[in-house]
Amino acid sequence: MKFIQVGVGGFGKTWMGLLNKHPDVDVVALVDISDQALSAACEAYGYPHSIGYRELSEALAATQADALICCTPPEFHRESVATALESGLHVIS
């Protein structure tokens, strides 16, 4: 499955580690409002910086993802989850 992960901060790193080593998962986009967090995440897991996005809408437009995993603080979950569901993605939150 192709995943977009939104939020690559503290707990997001735990999920990134799991997705990164799963043989059936392809991480096609990382989304975070922090350029620093995006950059650190790409470097930690060997992803090209080009898969990092500041906006979920951009990541959705640029990829053919199957699922989204939401690792932002709780007050930001609703927008990302609703947007992903409306785009036909499965969601883990």
Ligand X SMILES: NC(=O)c1ccc[n+]([C@@H]2O[C@H](COP(=O)([O-])OP(=O)(O)OC[C@H]3O[C@@H](n4cnc5c(N)ncnc54)[C@H](O)[C@@H]3O)[C@@H](O)[C@H]2O)c1
What residue ranges bind ligand X (CB under 6 A)?
6-12, 31-34, 37, 71-74, 76
Please state, in angstroms and as integers, the Cα–Cα distance from residue 5 to each residue in 9, 10, 14, 62, following that order.
11, 13, 12, 14
Which of residues 26 and 58 has its CB atom nearest to ligand X in the complex? Answer: 58
Q: Nearest distance from residue 20's CB to ligand X, in Å?
A: 16
Which of residues 24 and 75 has its CB atom nearest to ligand X in the complex? Answer: 75
Which residue sits closest to ligand X, CB atoms considered?
9
Which of residues 23 and 31 has its CB atom nearest to ligand X in the complex? Answer: 31
What is the chain's Cα-based Rg?
12
What letter would DSSP give residue 87? T
Distance of CA 91 to the CA centre of its chain: 11
